Chains A and B, each alone.
Chain A
Amino acid sequence: MTEEKKLNIVLAGQGNTGKSTVFNFLTGLHQHIGNWAGKTIEKSEGTLFYKGYTVDVLDLPGIYSLTTYSVEEVISREYIINQKPDCVINIVDATNLERNLIFTFQLLELECPVILVLNMVDLAKKKGIRIDSKKLQDILNVHVIPTIASRGAGLTSIIDKAIELKEKKGQHKVHHYGKEIENCIKQLSALLEDIDISYPARWIAIKLLEKDKDIIKLVQKKKPEILEKTKQLQDYLEDIHGHDSSLVIADERSHLTCRITRETETIDANRKASLNDRLSAITTDRFLGYIVMVLILGGMFLTVFMMGDLLSGLFDPLFISWHNWWNDTVGTTFIASLGWAAVESVLALVQIALPYILPFYIILYILEDWGYIARISFLMDNLMHKMGIHGKACISFIIGLGCNVPGCLSCRIMESKRERFITAVLVTLVPCSAVSVIVFGLVGKYVGLLWAFGLYLFALLLIFLVGKILSRLLLGEPVELIMAMPDYKTPQIKTVLYQTWDALKEFVYIAAPIVVISGVAIHGIDLAGWMPFISSILKPVTVNWLGLPAVTGILLIFGILRKELILVMLAAYLGTTHFSDVLSPQQMITFAVVSMFYVPCIATISVLWKEYGWKKALIVCVLEILFAILLAGIVNRILNFVF
Chain B
Amino acid sequence: MVSENSNMSLTDMKEGQTGIIVSVAGGKGATKRLADLGLSPGTEIKVIRKALFSGPVKVLVRGSRIVIGRGLALKIIVALK
Chain A residues whose C-beta falls within 8 Å of the C-beta of B36 in the assembled complex = 64, 102-103, 250
B56–A382 CB distance below 8 A: yes
Contact of A284 among B30, B51, B72 (CB under 8 A): B51
CA gap between A136 and B37 in the complex, in Å: 20
| Chain A, Cβ-Cβ closest to B27 | A477
B7 within 8 A of A: no
- When the two chains form their complex, are residues A378 and B56 in contact, meaning their CB atoms are under 8 A apart? yes
A247–B71 CB distance below 8 A: no
Partner of B65, one of A261, A391, A485: A485
Across-interface contacts of A96 in B (CB, < 8 A): 63-64
A166 at the interface (CB under 8 A from B): no
Which of A251, A379, A391, A482 counts the most B-chain CB atoms under 10 A from its CB? A482
Known: A64-B37, A97-B63, A99-B38. A482 touches B69 (CB 8 A): yes
Partner among A102, A378, A487 whose Cβ is within 8 Å of the Cβ of B58: A378
Instruction: Say whether A484 contacts B40, CB under 8 Å.
Output: no
- 6 shortest interchain CB distances as A-B pairs: A250-B35, A382-B55, A480-B69, A480-B72, A481-B69, A485-B65
Of residues 23 through 41 on chain B, the ones whose CB sits less than 8 Å from some CB of chain A are 23-24, 26-38, 40-41
Distance from B75 Cβ to chain A, minimum over Cβ atoms (Å): 9
Closest chain-A Cβ to B36's Cβ sits at a distance in Å of 6
Measured as residues with beta carbon below 8 angstroms from the partner, the interface class of chain B is: 35 or more
Q: Report 9 cross-chain contacts, Cβ distance below 8 Å, ordered by A residue.
A: A246-B28, A251-B41, A251-B42, A258-B62, A281-B49, A284-B58, A379-B51, A484-B66, A485-B58
Contact (Cβ within 8 A) A251 B40: yes
The minimal Cβ–Cβ distance linking B56 to chain A, given in whole angstroms, is 4
| Contact of A478 with B51 at beta-carbon distance under 8 Å, contacts A246-B32, A382-B56 already known | no
- A352-378: CB near B (< 8 Å → 1, else 0) gives 000000000000000000000010011
Q: How far is the CB of B60 from chain A (nearest CB, A)?
A: 9
Q: Are B55 and A379 interface neighbours, CB within 8 A?
A: yes
Residues of B within 8 A of A (CB): 23-24, 26-38, 40-43, 49-56, 58, 61-72
Q: A129–B35 Cα gap in the complex (Å)?
A: 24
Contacts of B43 in A (CB 8 A): 254
CB neighbours (8 Å) of B70 from chain A are: 381-382, 385, 480
Q: A385-B71, A480-B68, A485-B67 are in contact. Are A254 and B55 (CB under 8 A)?
A: no
Q: Does A267 contact B (CB under 8 A)?
A: yes
Tell which of B26, B34, B66 has the most Cβ of chain A within 10 Å. B66
Majority secondary structure, A binding face: helix
Best-surrounded residue of A258, A383, A478, A487 (most CB of chain B within 10 A): A258
Which residue in chain B gives the minimum CB-CB distance to A98?
Answer: B62
Complex CA distance for A391 and B42, rounded to whole angstroms: 28
Q: A290 interface residue, CB < 8 Å from B? A: yes
- A285 to B28 Cα, complex, angstroms: 31
Q: Please, how many angstroms separate the alpha-carbon atoms of A478 and B30 in the complex?
A: 11
User: A485 — which chain B residues lie within 8 A by C-beta?
Assistant: 58, 64-67
Q: Is A287 an interface residue (CB 8 A)?
A: yes
Known pairs A99-B38, A485-B67 / 4 extra A-B pairs, C-beta < 8 Å? A98-B63, A99-B64, A251-B42, A257-B62
B42 close to A381 (CB less than 8 A): no
CB distance from B21 to the nearest CB of A (A): 10
A481 CA / B78 CA spacing, docked (Å): 19
Are A243 and B23 in touch, CB under 8 angstroms? yes
Q: Using A64-B37, A250-B40 as known contacts, say yes or no to A482 and B66 having CB atoms under 8 A apart.
A: yes
Interface set, chain A 265-296, CB cutoff 8 A to B? 267, 280-281, 284-287, 290
CB pair A378–B69 under 8 Å, yes or no, is no
Chain A residues whose C-beta falls within 8 Å of the C-beta of B34 in the assembled complex? 482
